[in-house]
Amino acid sequence: MTGSSPPLGVPASLGYRMPAEWEPHAATWLAWPWSTADWPGKGGAIPWVFAELTRWLQRGEVVHLLVPHTDAEARVAGLLRKAGASLDEVDFVHAAVNRTWVRDSLPTFVTTRRASDPHPAPSGEAPALAAIKWRFNGWNRYTNHRKDEAVGHLAARWLGVPTYQPTVENAGEQRRVVLEGGAIDVDGEGTLLATRACLLTGPFARNPHLGAAGTERVFAEQLGVARVIWLDEGIAGDDTSGHVDDFVRFVGPGRVLLAQEPRAADVNHLLLCRAAEVLGSARDAAGRRLEVIPLPMPAPIRFGHERLPASYANFYIGNAVVVVPTFNDPQDRVALGILAELFPDRTVVGIHAVDLVLGLGTLHCSTQQEPVGVPRRRRR
């Protein structure tokens, strides 16, 4: 099941585009960590991280919070009250998930609006907001992902927005395009960042049959993207096989923030140097050379022998705040300072993520922005 029937034509032909994360949101989506299996030994701490995330995001927007059922809603509401969050700014949406990483399982929302446009779309035009529901297959790695695939359809249906499910032909069959939100980052002006390892060439590549040209065509048709900047691979410990939101992010038109690892012995050093070379010679969709701003990396964090994907690049830009994962590391302060300079109109706040990253993701992975486009709907 999907949301309302989409207008005929591909989204970009109807004026849809994927906006930048710093453009106005109607809400942020989160999924409550009802099961804490991804955080062995840390189950008691993780709900409080999500409560803190909710509390900060409410400074500028509503939070749509996925909980499995009515009993769960009551328990979560009690915890949110204790954490100082306002239930007036939370919409509970009943749906079970396999994991809380809604960046990857929920749709990518596209809009016909521009940040400077205060008016809704005229009658007869495409609705201001639509959902691009990619196929979610557990990062092409995990088999327990059916609830996460289903919840993406539910979110679009709950909002009542048109839903597109991109498909391509392969070997005479129509196949849905596989993609997660953390695999891409956009500037809202037609430029997109992605890695070849995640989408094209790695052992867990999502759509190797498409190739670079076919993938770029999908991005153009579905997201209004005119230029894709391809990086090679992602950071160590990333079980998504190369999501860009763990190491490189747009922070404005023509500006990217890139993680930097000066320790030559660290496995991330060389791959981030290569990324810097690519970005230094790239141009965006407007023809601008990119300003590449270095962002430090925390010292490596491990669980047993496993390297975890700890990175300050997994921040999330809300309407009023920028929430940044912190790791009890001296570089925490440096990273917060860099982001505070880049977003002077928002409060930049660190949220402790040493426990959260044990689940192989942090704050950006936990969030999905819903651009301004439809009136608020409440299901309490």
Q: Which pLDDT tens digit goes with each residue over 294-334?
A: 999 999 999 999 999 999 999 999 999 999 999 999 999 99
The domain locations on the chain are: 11-371
- Strands 255-260, 291-296: pairing is parallel
Nearest to 339 by CA among 349, 327, 329: 349
Q: Where are the alpha helices (DSSP H) in 90-130?
A: 102-105
Token pair of 287 as six digits:
């023809």
Q: Is 2 helix (H, G, I), strand (E, B) or coil?
A: coil
Residue 256 phi, psi (nearest 5): -125, 145
Nearest to 83 by CA among 56, 102, 61, 44: 56
- Residue entry with tokens 């007869």: 124
DSSP assigned state of 188:
S
Q: Report d(CA 344, CA 16) in Å as an integer.
A: 29
Q: Report d(CA 232, CA 214) in Å as an integer.
A: 17
Q: Tens digit of pLDDT per residue, the chain (380 long)?
A: 356 777 667 899 999 999 999 999 999 999 999 999 999 999 899 999 999 999 999 999 999 999 999 999 999 999 999 999 999 999 999 999 999 999 999 999 999 977 555 444 444 455 699 999 999 999 999 999 999 999 999 999 999 999 999 999 887 889 999 999 999 999 999 999 999 999 999 999 999 999 999 999 999 999 999 999 999 999 999 999 999 999 999 999 999 999 999 999 999 999 999 999 999 999 999 999 999 999 999 999 999 999 999 999 999 999 999 999 999 999 999 999 999 999 999 999 999 999 999 999 999 999 999 999 877 665 44
- Strands 191-195, 173-176: pairing is unpaired
- pLDDT tens digits along 151-167: 999 999 999 999 999 99
- pLDDT tens digits along 114-128: 755 544 444 445 569
Check residue 123 and give its pLDDT: 46
H or E element: which one contains 49? helix 46-57
Query: In CATH terms, is domain 11-371 a member of 3.75.10.10?
Result: yes
Say which residues have a Cβ less than 8 Å from residue 209's Cβ, sequence separation at least 6. Answer: 168, 170, 171, 175
Answer for the pair 182, 244: CB distance below 8 angstroms, yes or no: yes
Answer for the pair 103, 366: CB distance below 8 angstroms, yes or no: yes
Catalytic site positions: 365
Biggest CA–CA distance in the chain, Å, is: 60
